[in-house]
Amino acid sequence: MSPSKRNRPRVAVAGASGFIGTALCPLLAEHFEVIALTRSPARARTPDPAGHVDWRHCDLFSAPALTTALADIDYAVYLVHSLAPSSRLTQARPRDMDLVLADNFAHAAAANALKQIVFVSGVMPESFRFSPLLWSRREVEMVLGSRGTPVTALRASLVLGPGGTGPSLLLDLVQRLPVLLLPPAAASSTRPIALADLVRAILLCLGRPEAFSGAFDIGGAETLSYEAMLRQTAEVLGLRRRFIKVPALPITAASLTAQVVSGAPPAMVGAIVESLPQDTLMRDNPVQRAIAPGALGFRAALEASIDPATGRLRPSPRQRLKEQDREVMREQSLVRSIQRALLPPGQDAAWLAGNYFRWLGECCWPLVRSAVNANGDVEVWSRLPPIRMLVLRHMADESSPERQVYEIAAGRLARSGAGRARFEFQTLLDGRYTMTAIHDYAPALPWYLYVVTQAAVHLAVMRRYQRRLARLAR
């Protein structure tokens, strides 16, 4: 590394292999030393052709790994979302995973004294009826700023660029459906933004926390309805489509149609479709005023994103790596299970962990018993026959009143040598939320037998415990 490069500020981009990060990192490298953090092992193994971006694999669900990754970092851009699968089996809502990831990042940023986090969020609707996706973005904003690091939240609506899921859905619907049904919600208006304009906004704010701290609504050159976007998409593609207005169209039906047409993961499609039919309110601010000159309108942004030879979005460079990542997930066969629960007033994660393991033996009696030793380690046994099913070692050096960590170290139900499986109890925002999470668990049972037996039982037990905590919190 050259001396001139070492003198540059260092910026970490979390979620760098997504379509925003792919466009952003090369431009950041003109002014910063860029550390691109990705959960994709395939992307981390692929060097940057220009040699300007340092790609590193980082599991953001691991607080120690993330704290190490942010060492000597000055600024961060946070582009993470949990709409795409990260394990072969995931028992968690995307918004709950987003909350865990954001809290891990906030802790790591505070531990390393980062000067600023720039977060790409979502424009809030005019009403107080938030979709789960938009409310998740708002929660992440709050959590990222909860540890004292200045946060710049750039709230954007539909982002138009190569590899984007939102514009890809628009194109798939218009290309594959000769007739499109328009419920009243299709008249809702928003202000889509070109990927290039979003990148300009990030570059403007990064490194200037004193000037751009807080939330800023940003958009492109025009405000238009979802019906107008569908019609303009058909015009850009040169397709004649019939649009029929209907009095209602259930979100479930719209999501299922979009999923079948696009082939995208159900959780991703459902979250995006739910978030679309809402009027959004743009508030004047210095970031929007700065990027407005030269901002692209919807049609221009869409045309710039489409490959004229195929009539489809130009693919994200990461597209070819996704299949490799899916194959890795299948080979590893790991499990992630996260549940959100209410925490009784005045309690913390240490209380939560102790309460859970005591309750577990009561809940599953007479089939299962649990035992906690003086070091806080836990063993879970079946009663008849007496089999030690799981051994959970309390990781005191990684634990605190807000987070309790147990390594799943042994037991008949745990496959050894497959990663660092752990059970974590985590409280956020001064106890407003509490999360119970299993990460990187490798079951010893054959996979499909595990899915219909142990996995189903675990989820049922955790939901029962959620109800118990809700009663205690009242």
Element (H, E) at 468: helix 454-473
∠ Cα 32 37 39 (to 5°): 165
**Residues 291 and 339 grouped into a single domain:** no
**Residues 354 and 237 grouped into a single domain:** no
**Displacement of CA 219 from its chain's centroid (Å):** 22
**Residues 322 and 338 grouped into a single domain:** no
CA–CA distance, 396 with 289 (Å, rounded to integer): 50
**Residues 284 and 321 grouped into a single domain:** yes
**Residues 148 and 293 grouped into a single domain:** yes
Boundary-marking domain end, from 300, 327, 354: 327
Q: What is the CATH number of the domain that holds 257?
A: 3.40.50.720
**Residues 42 and 133 grouped into a single domain:** yes
**Residues 296 and 417 grouped into a single domain:** no
| Burial environment of residue 260 by CB neighbours within 10 A (0 to 12, 13 to 18, 19 or more) | exposed
Boundary-marking domain end, from 302, 327, 352: 327
Task: Measure the CA dihedral 468/92/192/182, to 10°.
Answer: -80
131 contacts 280 by C-beta, under 8 angstroms: no
Residue type, 366: P
Closest CA to 412 of 431, 437, 386: 386
| Burial environment of residue 471 by CB neighbours within 10 A (0 to 12, 13 to 18, 19 or more) | exposed
CA–CA distance, 322 with 307 (Å, rounded to integer): 20
Could you tell me whether strands 387-394 and 403-410 are parallel, antiparallel, or unpaired per DSSP bridges? Answer: antiparallel
∠ Cα 157 160 161 (to 5°): 140
- The per-residue pLDDT for 276 is 60
Question: Both tokens of residue 264?
Answer: 């995208």
**Residues 347 and 413 grouped into a single domain:** yes
DSSP letter for each residue of 309-347: TTTEEPPPTTHHHHHHHHHHHHHH--EEEEEEE---TT-
**Residues 321 and 347 grouped into a single domain:** no
**Displacement of CA 360 from its chain's centroid (Å):** 30
Number of domains in the chain: 2
Q: What is the CATH number of the domain that holds 380?
A: 3.30.530.20
CA–CA distances in Å: residue 456 to residues 32, 96, 271, 413, 440:
47, 19, 24, 14, 17
**Residues 428 and 314 grouped into a single domain:** no
Boundary-marking domain end, from 275, 306, 327: 327
**Residues 309 and 429 grouped into a single domain:** no
- pTM (two decimals): 0.92
- Domain membership of residue 8 as a residue range: 3-327
pLDDT tens for the chain, 474 residues: list them: 444 455 899 999 999 988 999 999 999 999 999 999 998 888 888 877 777 899 999 999 999 999 999 999 999 999 998 877 889 999 999 899 999 999 999 999 999 999 999 999 988 877 666 777 788 889 999 999 999 999 999 999 899 998 888 888 888 888 888 998 888 888 888 899 999 999 999 999 999 999 999 999 999 999 999 899 999 999 999 999 999 998 987 777 777 777 777 666 666 666 566 666 567 778 899 999 999 999 999 999 999 999 887 777 777 666 677 788 888 899 999 999 999 999 999 999 999 999 999 999 999 999 999 999 999 999 999 998 999 999 999 999 999 999 999 999 999 999 987 779 999 999 998 888 899 999 999 999 999 999 999 999 999 999 999 999 999 988
Closest CA to 273 of 364, 381, 188: 188
183 contacts 255 by C-beta, under 8 angstroms: no
CA–CA distance, 52 with 39 (Å, rounded to integer): 20
**Residues 105 and 207 grouped into a single domain:** yes
- The per-residue pLDDT for 324 is 84
446 contacts 470 by C-beta, under 8 angstroms: no
